[in-house]
């Protein structure tokens, strides 16, 4: 990489963190600098997920980091947020992988699973020995997951599942899929199922031709008469609220992660502007319009840090509501995408070359803006909270 990350902290934000929180962040930062940054552009070009990093990330406690027991690190929500910030500063696709493994696979087993399911899956998922995926989104149902067509039918002591899922992170590398389906014999109630991916009738295929999240595996899933024992039903799941609780966990991590992407772009643009000379042999950082862009970015990054830190503190006290997380996800991803665009502008033509991370972050953030609740949906969640009226 042409420019090495120096860190971003305008208001002594670090003084708001505990020693443990700073240690967790610095450990994650060093891991990303040493292991991901040197290979990420090659991975992005090749459309390759850096599978070799899975075990080391497990060893550092990144998977299910904020869960207690089962070998999990038991981090606070703020510590986990700082980890996702550093992961996404490396690459959104790698942060997506960790988010899915943690918030969308381990969390539902932890929250809705039986003791046997927890003992079977959580330790192996925590170590990265087993990988998981989360099957909620369908080809025709993204923002409206309640419209899902995937069905489960109870037959004797088994469930038979049929349906399709789309845009599924880690689908083709997963050992287990958390599949959400409407149960026909239960008045079409939405329930979660643990579906081992080697079961007959289960098929996963990678989605190719992505311009975004190229270092992450994205798949389509097909289930044709897939039979699972009734012991694979997540007993605590019931209704659309269950998968939405999982998404809430993931959205929280994204709100922190987006700051990492913004920091990477801003820091690169700042350093570049001090080196690049134009007009009267002066660095472009001396120009008012460039300073205006840098000022906007550092201000918005700082505001985003304060927003997500407060939401993290509330979450650690059990007080964070879904609309708090919606505000953090909506604001911080928008902010990061604007930072990527302004940074690309400062770098000029160099901004589109992968000698620098900016275009990769920009392309990734276009997906992050859409997944786990689009910008528009989060806007309406906040709107419903302040007006008391649902607009969707």
- Residue 121 sits in the same domain as residue 136: no
Closest CA to 152 of 115, 111, 117, 194: 194
Considering the domain architecture, whether residues 295 and 364 belong to the same structural domain is answered as: yes
- CATH code for the domain in which residue 354 is found: 1.20.140.10
Within a domain: 4: no
Do both 136 and 121 map to the same domain? no
Which of 213, 232, 251 is a domain's end point? 232
> Strand, helix or coil at 165?
strand
Whether residues 380 and 285 fall in one domain = yes
156's CB contacts (< 8 A; 6+ apart) are: none
> Is 2 within a domain?
no
144 with 222, same domain?
yes
- Sign of the C-alpha dihedral computed for residues 307, 308, 310 and 314 taken in this order: positive
Asked if the structure places residue 3 within a domain, the reply is: no
- Residue 81 in any domain: the answer is yes
Tally of structural domains, the chain: 3
Instruction: Specify the 3-state DSSP secondary structure of 30.
Output: helix
Residue ending a domain, choose from 99, 127, 155: 127
Task: Name the domain boundary from 184, 213, 232.
Answer: 232
The pLDDT of residue 3 is: 84
Nearest Cα to 176, choosing from 224, 225, 215, 234?
234
Concatenating the DSSP letter of every residue in 232-291 gives: GB-TT--STHHHHHHHHHHHHHHHHHHHHHHHHHHHHHHHHHHH-B-STT-BGGGSHHHH
The CATH number linked to 137 is 2.40.110.10
User: Does 169 map to a domain?
Assistant: yes
**Helix or strand or coil: residue 227?**
strand
The reply to whether 280 and 329 lie within a common domain is: yes
Residue 222, beta-bridge partner list: 164, 203
Q: Are residues 173 and 228 in the same domain?
A: yes
For residue 229, give the 3-state DSSP assignment: strand
- Cα 173–177–183 angle (5° rounding)? 155
DSSP state at residue 315: H
Please give the biggest Cα pair distance in the chain: 81
Domain of residue 37, residue span: 13-127
* Residue 252 placed within a domain: yes
Residue 88 annotated to the active site: no
d(CA 31, CA 349): 30
Same domain (yes/no): 247, 346: yes
Q: Do 260 and 320 belong together in one domain?
A: yes
Whole-angstrom distance between the N-terminal and C-terminal Cα of the chain? Answer: 44
Tokens of 295: 């000022």
Burial of 191 (0-12, 13-18, 19+ CB in 10 A): buried
- Dihedral angle sign, alpha carbons of residues 66, 339, 361, 89: negative
Among 21, 88, 138, 372, the active-site one is 372
| Residues 74 and 137 grouped into a single domain | no
Residues 123 and 138 in one domain: no
CATH code at 78?
A: 1.10.540.10
Q: What is the pLDDT along the chain (392 residues), one digit of tens a residue?
A: 568 999 999 999 999 999 999 999 999 999 999 999 999 999 999 999 999 999 999 999 999 999 999 999 999 999 999 999 999 999 999 999 999 999 999 999 999 999 999 999 999 999 999 999 999 999 999 999 999 999 999 999 999 999 999 999 999 999 999 999 999 999 999 999 999 999 999 999 999 999 999 999 999 999 999 999 999 999 999 999 999 999 999 999 999 999 999 999 999 999 999 999 999 999 999 999 999 999 999 999 999 999 999 999 999 999 999 999 999 999 999 999 999 999 999 999 999 999 999 999 999 999 999 999 999 999 999 999 999 999 98
In a domain, 41, yes or no: yes
In this predicted structure, what is the pLDDT of residue 280?
94
Mark whether 221 and 312 lie in a shared domain: no
What is the model's pTM?
0.97
Q: Looking at the domain assignment, is residue 8 inside a domain?
A: no
185 neighbors 253 (Cβ within 8 angstroms) = no
């Amino acid at each position: 990489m042409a420019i090495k990350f120096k860190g971003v902290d305008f208001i002594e934000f670090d003084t708001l963190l505990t020693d443990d929180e700073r240690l967790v962040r610095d450990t994650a930062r060093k891991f990303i600098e040493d292991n991901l940054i040197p290979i990420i552009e090659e991975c992005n070009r090749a459309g390759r997920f850096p599978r070799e990093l899975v075990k080391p990330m497990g060893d550092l406690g990144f998977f299910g980091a904020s869960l207690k027991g089962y070998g999990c690190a038991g981090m606070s929500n703020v510590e986990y947020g700082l980890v996702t910030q550093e992961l996404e500063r490396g690459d959104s696709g790698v942060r997506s992988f960790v988010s899915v493994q943690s918030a969308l696979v381990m969390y539902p087993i932890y929250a809705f699973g039986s003791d046997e399911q927890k003992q079977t899956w959580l330790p192996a998922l925590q170590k990265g020995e087993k990988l998981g995926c989360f099957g909620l989104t369908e080809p025709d149902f993204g923002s409206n997951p309640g419209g899902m067509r995937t069905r489960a039918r109870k037959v004797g002591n088994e469930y038979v599942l049929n349906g399709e899922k789309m845009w599924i992170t880690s689908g083709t590398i997963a050992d287990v899929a958390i599949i959400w389906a409407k149960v026909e014999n239960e008045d079409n109630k939405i329930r979660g199922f643990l579906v081992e991916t080697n079961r007959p009738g289960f098929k996963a295929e990678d989605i190719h031709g992505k311009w975004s999240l190229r270092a992450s595996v994205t798949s389509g899933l097909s289930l044709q008469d897939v039979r699972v024992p009734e012991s694979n039903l997540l007993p605590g799941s019931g209704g659309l609220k269950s998968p939405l609780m999982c998404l809430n966990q993931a959205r929280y991590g994204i709100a922190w992660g987006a700051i990492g992407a913004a920091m990477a772009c801003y820091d690169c643009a700042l350093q570049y502007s001090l080196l690049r000379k134009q007009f009267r042999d002066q660095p472009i950082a001396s120009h008012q319009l460039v300073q205006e862009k840098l000022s906007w970015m550092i201000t918005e990054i700082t505001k985003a840090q304060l927003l997500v830190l407060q939401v993290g503190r509330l979450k650690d006290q059990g007080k964070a509501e879904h609309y708090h997380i919606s505000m953090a996800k909506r604001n911080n991803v928008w902010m990061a995408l604007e930072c990527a665009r302004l940074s690309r502008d400062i770098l000029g033509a160099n901004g589109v070359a992968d000698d620098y991370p900016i275009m990769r972050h920009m392309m990734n953030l276009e997906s992050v803006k859409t997944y786990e609740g689009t910008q528009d949906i989060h806007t309406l969640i906040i709107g419903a909270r302040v007006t008391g009226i649902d607009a969707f």
